[in-house]
C-alpha cells in the first residue's frame, strides 16, 4: 500500500514532508513486532499512527485496544492492564482479565504513557522484555503476545531526569520512534484541513460550508496553533455555527483566534522621543561616573599630600561642577574631620580651604531632569545656539530638542 492509499484509507489530510515521513516509517515497521513510541504535541493526531500500524500488520484480525493511561486512577491502573483475582482488593468480587490478556495476538495502544505510575512501569517493562505478567493478587505467570505502541506529548528526557519515567522502559518502548509534526510545521496543510473540517460541519449542520478569503488563509497559516489539529477543528466548528456569512475574512478569523503569549523576546517599537530621552539619561550616567572617578582621585591626593597639595583651576572647576550638580538645592555637603577635641563637621566650602585626612561623605541629590536640562544648555552653548549641531551632539532629533527647550524654558 502506497502513501496516498494509506491517507485515503485512514482519512489523513496533508502533504507535509514531515507527515509523509512519519507515515512512511509507520508503514515500514508495521509488519514487524517491535515496540513503537509516537511523540508529538497534544492534538497532532498521534492516535492515527497505531491504527495504521495495526491495520498494516499481520495482527489486523486481532484485538486493537487503545488505553488512555492518564485517565485511569493510579489505584486501578494495574488491574486494568494486567487483570486481578477475586478478593485481591476491596471491591474485587471476581476475577478479571486485563488488557494485555484480552489483546493477546493483537495490538495495545498506550496513550499518555508518561503518566503511568512507577510501579506500573516496572510491570510493563517485564511484559515487553519477557511477554509475561502476573494478575494483581495472583502468583501465576501468564504469557501474552501483544504488540505495544505507546504515545506521549511529554519531553521524555526531562521526565527521566525528574524521576518520573524509567530510562530502561523508554529504550524498550522506543525501539522505533515516530515523531508527528506540530500543525505550525505543516503550513501547507492548514488550509486543506480547514476546508475538510468546513465541509464536514456543513454536512453535519446542514448548511453551506464556510470558506476563507486569501488574506484569512494567510492569517491561519501564520498562527501558532498551540492546540494543533484539535484546536483548528474546534475553530472551524465555532465559525460554521456562529457566523451567518459564509465567506470569512481576516478580521473575522482573527476575532476567533486567542492571543498567543510566548516566552520569546519581543520587539517593542518606541517613539523617537522616548528613545532620545533614554539616550540623554545614558549620557548623564556616563558623565556622572567619569566625574565621580575624577573626584575619587582628587580626594586620594588630598588625603596623601595634605596641606602640600594645591588645587589647580581645572580641579577647582570640576569640584564646583560636581557640587552644583549633586546638590542643586545648594544644601551644604558635609564632611567630617578629626580634631583634638573630636570629630567636627564642616561645610563643603571649608573643605577646599583646609586640610583633611580622612573620608569624604557626600550626600547625593540626583535629578535626571536637572541633568538633562544642563546637558542641553551645554550643547547649545558649545554650538552657539545652533540647534542642528546641538541635537547631533546630544544624539537626538531637532524636533525633540525643540520640544525639550520649550519644556524646560531654556533661553537659546
User: 263 lies in a domain?
Assistant: no
Q: Are 101 and 144 in contact (CB under 8 A)?
A: yes
Q: Which residues contact residue 312 at a Cβ distance below 8 angstroms, ignoring those fewer than 6 apart?
A: none
Last-in-domain residue among 158, 181, 204: 181
Report the alpha-carbon distance of residue 158 to residue 287 in Å, rounded. Answer: 49
Confidence of residue 409 (pLDDT cuts 50, 70, 90): confident
pLDDT of residue 410: 85
For residues 361 and 334, the answer to whether their CB atoms sit within 8 Å is yes
Helix (H, G, I), strand (E, B) or coil at 98: coil
This prediction's pTM:
0.62
Q: Which residue has the higher pLDDT, 122 or 306?
A: 122
Whether 13 shows a pLDDT value over 50: the answer reads yes
Which CATH number fits the domain that encloses residue 235?
Answer: 1.10.8.60
Kindly indicate the confidence band of residue 366, based on its pLDDT and cuts at 50, 70 and 90: low
- 362 pLDDT band, cuts 50/70/90, is very low
Whether 10 maps to a domain, the answer reads: yes
Kindly report the backbone phi and psi dihedral angles of residue 407, in degrees, each rounded to the nearest multiple of 5, phi listed first: -65, -40
| 316 band by pLDDT with thresholds 50, 70 and 90 | low
**Among 86-95, 274-283, 375-384, whose mean pLDDT is lowest?**
274-283
Place of cell 522621543: 273
Domain assignment present for residue 350? The answer is no
**Helices H, strands E: what count in the chain?**
18, 11
Looking at per-residue pLDDT, the higher value among 323 and 353 belongs to 323
Is there a single domain that holds both residue 158 and residue 226?
A: no
Instruction: Evaluate whether residue 358 is within a structural domain.
Output: no
Mean pLDDT of 364-383: 76
Give 282 or 356, the one with higher predicted confidence: 282
Proportion of the chain above pLDDT 90, given as a percent: 58
Q: Residue 267 has what DSSP assignment? A: -
% of the chain beyond a pLDDT of 70: 73
Query: How far apart, in whole angstroms, are the C-alpha atoms of residue 52 and residue 43?
Result: 17
Q: What integer is the mean pLDDT of 326-331?
A: 46
In 1-152, DSSP assigns E strands to: 36-39, 64-68, 107-111, 132-134, 141-143, 147-152
Q: Which structural domain, as residue segments, surrounds residue 214?
A: 185-256
The reply to whether 352 falls in a domain is no
- Mean pLDDT for the stretch of residues 336-352: 44
**Structural contact between residues 355 and 299, judged by C-beta atoms closer than 8 angstroms:** no
Same domain, 305 and 285: yes
Do 48 and 151 fall within a single domain? yes
**Is residue 19 domain-shared with residue 158, that is, in the same domain?**
yes
Pair 159, 213 in one domain: no
57 and 107 share a domain?
Answer: yes
Mean pLDDT of 186-199: 96
Distance CA 25, CA 40 (A): 15
Domain boundary (164, 181, 198) is at 181
Length of the chain: 412
Residue 337 pLDDT exceeds 50: no
Lowest mean pLDDT among 162-171, 317-326, 359-368: 359-368
Q: What's the rounded mean pLDDT across residues 77-96?
A: 89
pLDDT band at 216 (very low <50, low <70, confident <90, very high): very high
For residues 51 and 191, give the distance between their C-alpha atoms in angstroms, rounded to a whole number. 25
Which of helix, strand or coil describes residue 158?
helix
Assess if residue 403 is contained within a domain: yes
State the average pLDDT over residues 9-30: 95
Residues 94 and 232 in one domain: no
Mean pLDDT of 329-345: 43
Task: Look at residue 230 in the predicted model and tell me its pLDDT.
Answer: 95
Compute how many other C-beta atoms are within 10 angstroms of the C-beta atom of residue 387. Answer: 17
Q: 262-271, 305-314, 342-351, 378-387: which has the minimum mean pLDDT?
A: 262-271
Same-domain status, 411 and 283: yes
Whether the per-residue pLDDT at 349 is higher than 60: the answer is no
Assign 173 a pLDDT band (cuts: 50, 70, 90). Answer: very high
Q: Residue 227 pLDDT more than 50?
A: yes
pLDDT greater than 60 at residue 277: no
| CA 374 to chain CA centroid, nearest Å | 44
Residue 174 in any domain: the answer is: yes
Average confidence score pLDDT of the chain: 82
- 189 and 314 in a single domain? The answer is no
User: Quick one: 228 and 284 in the same domain?
Assistant: no
| 3-state DSSP assignment of residue 153 | coil
CATH of the domain at 40: 3.40.50.300
Q: How many domains does the chain have?
A: 3
Residue 131, sorted as left (phi over 0), alpha (psi -120 to 50) or beta, turns out to be: left
Query: 306 and 170, same structural domain?
Result: no
What's the whole-number mean pLDDT along residues 113-119?
95
**pLDDT at position 170:** 95
Q: Is there a domain that residue 194 lies in?
A: yes
pLDDT band (50, 70, 90) for residue 266: very low
pLDDT of residue 405: 84
Residue where a domain terminates, one of 126, 146, 181: 181
pLDDT above 70 for 258: yes
Higher confidence at residue 355 or residue 324? 324
- Interior CA angle at 138 toward 134 and 140, to 5°? 60
Are 155 and 198 part of one and the same domain? no
Amino acid at each position: 500500500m502506497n502513501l496516498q492509499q494509506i491517507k485515503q484509507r485512514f482519512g489523513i489530510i496533508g502533504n507535509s514532508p514531515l507527515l509523509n515521513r512519519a507515515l512512511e516509517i509507520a508503514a515500514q515497521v508495521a509488519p514487524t513486532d517491535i515496540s513503537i513510541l509516537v511523540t508529538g504535541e497534544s492534538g497532532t493526531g498521534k492516535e492515527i499512527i497505531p491504527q495504521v500500524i495495526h491495520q498494516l500488520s499481520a495482527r489486523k484480525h486481532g484485538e486493537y485496544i487503545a488505553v488512555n493511561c492518564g485517565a485511569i486512577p493510579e489505584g486501578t491502573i494495574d488491574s486494568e492492564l494486567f487483570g486481578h483475582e477475586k478478593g485481591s482488593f476491596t471491591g474485587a468480587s471476581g476475577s478479571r482479565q486485563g488488557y494485555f490478556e484480552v489483546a493477546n495476538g493483537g495490538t495495545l495502544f498506550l496513550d499518555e504513557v508518561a503518566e503511568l505510575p512507577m510501579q506500573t512501569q516496572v510491570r510493563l517493562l517485564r511484559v515487553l522484555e519477557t511477554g509475561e505478567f502476573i494478575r494483581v493478587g495472583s502468583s501465576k505467570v501468564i504469557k501474552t503476545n501483544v504488540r505495544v505502541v505507546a504515545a506521549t506529548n511529554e519531553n521524555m528526557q526531562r521526565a527521566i531526569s525528574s524521576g518520573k519515567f524509567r530510562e530502561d522502559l523508554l529504550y524498550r518502548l522506543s525501539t522505533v520512534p515516530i515523531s508527528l509534526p506540530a500543525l505550525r510545521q505543516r503550513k501547507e496543510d492548514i488550509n486543506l484541513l480547514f476546508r475538510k473540517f468546513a465541509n464536514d460541519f456543513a454536512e453535519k449542520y446542514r448548511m453551506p460550508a464556510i470558506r476563507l478569503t486569501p488574506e484569512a488563509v494567510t492569517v491561519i497559516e501564520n498562527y501558532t496553533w498551540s492546540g494543533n489539529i484539535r484546536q483548528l477543528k474546534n475553530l472551524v466548528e465555532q465559525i460554521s455555527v456562529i457566523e451567518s456569512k459564509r465567506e470569512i475574512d481576516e478580521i473575522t478569523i482573527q476575532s476567533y483566534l486567542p492571543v498567543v503569549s510566548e516566552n520569546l523576546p519581543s520587539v517593542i517599537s518606541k517613539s523617537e522621543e522616548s528613545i532620545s530621552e533614554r539616550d540623554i539619561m545614558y549620557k548623564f550616567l556616563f558623565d556622572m561616573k567619569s566625574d565621580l572617578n575624577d573626584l575619587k582621585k582628587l580626594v586620594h591626593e588630598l588625603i596623601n599630600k595634605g596641606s602640600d597639595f594645591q588645587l589647580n583651576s581645572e580641579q577647582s572647576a570640576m569640584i564646583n561642577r560636581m557640587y552644583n550638580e549633586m546638590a542643586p538645592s545648594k544644601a551644604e555637603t558635609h564632611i567630617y574631620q578629626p580634631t583634638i577635641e573630636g570629630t567636627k563637621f564642616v561645610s563643603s566650602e571649608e573643605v577646599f580651604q583646609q586640610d583633611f585626612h580622612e573620608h569624604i561623605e557626600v550626600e547625593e541629590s540626583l535629578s535626571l531632569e536637572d541633568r538633562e536640562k544642563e546637558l542641553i544648555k551645554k550643547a547649545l552653548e558649545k554650538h552657539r545656539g545652533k540647534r542642528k549641531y546641538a541635537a547631533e551632539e546630544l544624539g537626538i532629533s531637532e524636533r525633540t530638542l525643540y520640544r525639550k527647550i520649550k519644556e524646560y524654558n531654556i533661553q537659546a
